[in-house]
Each structure stands twice: as C-alpha cells, then as structure tokens.
Amino acid sequence: MKRAEILTGLWLLMFLIYGKECMSQIQNKVCDTIPYELVHNKIIIPVTINGVKTKYIVDTGGKTGTMYDIALEMQANAAGYTRISDVNGQGQNYQEAYVSNVSIGNSYQIKLLKTMVLPKDPFFTDLGVAGILGGDAFSQSVVTFDSRYRIMVINYPYRPEKLKLTDGVPLLDETEYHSFITVKQEEQTMKILFDTGAEGFLLYSIQDYNRLADISDIKETNHAHGIVSAGLAGLGNPVEIKKLNIPSIRIMDKEFTNIGCTTSVMNETIIGVDLLKYGKVIIDYMRKRFFFLPFEKGKTDMGGAPVLWNVSILPRNERFEITTIWDSMKDQVSFGDQVININGTSLSNCPMSQIAIEEIMNAIPGDTGYIIIKKDNQERKIEIKKER
C-alpha cells in the first residue's frame, strides 16, 4: 500500500510539473483503426483539418496535397513552393502551405502539416476528396494496411505487437517519407516504390526495362503509343508504351511469378495498391522499415500480360479523345481523334471526367465493343477489343 501511495504521489508531482505537456504525450500513444473506402482503386479515409471535415486519398508514393479552395477553407498559411514530377514525368511547381489541427481517425493528430496547394481537379472532385495524404502525413506513426477488413491501423510510437524490426526491410529514402524498398527480380535487385496511389500491381519503369531487358527473361507482348495516365500536372505527352511479362519478383519472402504490366516514363518501378490483395503491408515511418505479411505462402501466379482495351480514351481539349493506341489499332485511329460514342453510349452529355469514361468502358460486356469517332465532319464506327 505504501508503494502505491508513493507512486500516486510521484504521478501527482509529475502532473503538477509537466501539466499539459505530459498529458499531450499520453494522448499521443495511439492505436487507431480507420475503416477505408476503396473507390476506383483509391484508398479514401475521413480527415478533419482545422474543423473542416473532408476525405483524402492515401498515397504512400506522393506528398500531401490539397485543392486550393479547400485549403482556403482550412485557413492554410503560405509556406513557399516545391517542385514534383507526376506519373507522366511532368515536373511542375506548386505553392505549399501549412494546415493546422489535423485529425486522422480518432486519436492521431498533427498540429501542423505542410501541404501542396493543388488546382481544382475533376478527378478529386468526382471522388469527393480534398486531395492526397502522402507519407509525410504519417511520419510519426506506424501504418498498417489490411485489405481483408478494409482498414488502416495507425500506431504511435510502437509497432504492432510481436512485430520485430528484423521482420522488415529498410526504407531506402532517408530524406522523404516515400516507401522505396529493394526487391529481387529473378537474380537482379531493383529499387521499387510502394505506392497506394497507383492502380494495379506493377508499373514498370522504362529505365529499369532498358537496364534489365538483356540480362533477364522479360518478354514484350505488345506495344502502344500514347499517354500512360492522367497525373497531377494533367495529361502528359504521348510516349512509347510496352506491355511486359515479368517472370518473377520477390518482395521479402513472397514470390510473384508471371507478372503482367505496362511501362511508364517515371524513374522508378512502382508496386501499386493491388499488393494489398496479397498481404498486409506495414510501414514504420519513424524507424524507416517496411513489412509485408502475405496472406498465403508460396508462389503466386499473376496471370501474365494484362488484358486491356486496344485503345484508351480520356477527356482532352474539352472533348473525349483517343489517347493510347495499341499496335492492332494503329492503322485505324490516330492519337487525338475525337470519340463521340462508346458502344452505344453517347458522350454528348458526359462530364469531362476520367472516372465517367472508365465506367462506360468497364460496362461494355465481353471482350469486344465499338467506338464512333468524328473526324473532318465524318463519323466512323470502329470495333475495339480487349487483348493481351
């Protein structure tokens, strides 16, 4: 009893000495579970900033960014400029600002967070989000992604129970909160970025392809000319795109085989959000460690080259245009051709939205459909196909 009284007295003394500072540290011992939505392959969570309740995309490959009008509502304070490159390799300067009183989940709170100030983006607007939360937003935490329950778990300051530091691999980027790790492709090592903001399983850097094509068993199965995707800086310039089949990639102790992917102009190869289908990912930002806990042991066959439509269509120049052309279509359509109808759906009243076009394309039954293009005041119906 005497020992308990002494401990109680010490606690009261510490409280009187340290007051709010001590209580603040206790509140920051966090284990918070946050359900997320998966909408158009984007992880979306609720966030409150300076009293403004909104949602963000969780993007482990990017920096935090907020659309201008919402940043104003959050009473953001200017903080200079930064330059980044997007998925198309386009560099652009963005104003930065500080936002205060950031609440992610019930317990994880950030007093001050730097955010890029982004122009209004139809993609963000369609998803109902303010922008993206990069790894910088989680720099003082351990984040677990568990796709089986569609939850994120934020721990501070400790890792989840029974998880040892040696169970993970180092994050390679010491200066930024990006999830770069080393993986094995056959007998070669390569640096990849785990990016929850990227769709699919693998987006292969053309630089890695040029470096490894002659010393590995990579197979090129198809070829295209066009835009990889819409990035933060908008649509990039058309480039050569290769469709590849990668024999093997090993992420820690898990081997994936027969992996289909397309190339990108980015400097690094990306493992996208689909990794979460195959295991739990834990990122210890404070100690710079990455953990992958597969749901199933042994090799996983990824099914080879992806099946894609042999043209891609995106909003461009205030209309809908052909933005990627695979080889089977190169004699039938041209980059920039206007598309006015997709498989019977007129685009005359369609919003200028990437998501709207994706939904129309995804609704085409089977592996064939058609588009109607308008060129020189002439309309032409053209069959399109899904192909590897």
Domains of the chain: 174-279+293-304 (2.40.70.10), 308-387 (2.30.42.10)
Alpha-carbon span 368 to 386, nearest angstrom: 6
Residue 295 backbone dihedrals phi, psi, to 5 degrees: -70, -30
- Provide the pLDDT for residue 12: 39
pLDDT cut 90: percent of the chain above it: 74
Closest CA to 193 of 255, 270, 305: 270
Q: Which of 284, 275, 253 is nearest to 194 (CA)?
A: 275
Cα distances (angstroms) measured from residue 143 to each of 154, 221, 286, 315: 5, 37, 10, 35
Per-residue pLDDT, 296: 96
pLDDT in tens, 57-115: 999 998 999 999 999 999 999 988 887 766 556 667 889 999 999 999 888 999 999 99
Please state, rounded to an integer, the average pLDDT across all residues of the chain.
89
The owner of tokens 């989000």 is 129
The pLDDT value recorded for residue 267 is 82
pLDDT at residue 331 is higher than 50: yes
Roughly how many angstroms between the first and final C-alpha of the chain, as a whole number? 75
Strand 269-271 vs strand 188-194: parallel, antiparallel, or unpaired? parallel
What is the rounded average pLDDT of the residues 298-305? 96
Amino acid at position 207, single letter: Q
For residue 322, give both structure tokens: 């052909």
Return the minimum-mean-pLDDT range out of 97-111, 155-169, 194-208. Answer: 155-169
C-alpha angle 183/39/103, rounded to 5°? 85
Query: Residue type at 106?
Result: N
- Residue pLDDT, tens place only, 275-300: 999 999 999 999 999 999 999 999 99
Residue 214 burial by Cβ neighbours in a 10 Å radius (0-12, 13-18, 19+):
exposed
Sequence-ordered list of residues with C-beta below 8 angstroms from that of 169, at least 6 positions apart, any chain: 181, 182, 252, 289, 290, 291
Q: Can you read off the two tokens belonging to residue 206?
A: 């053309």
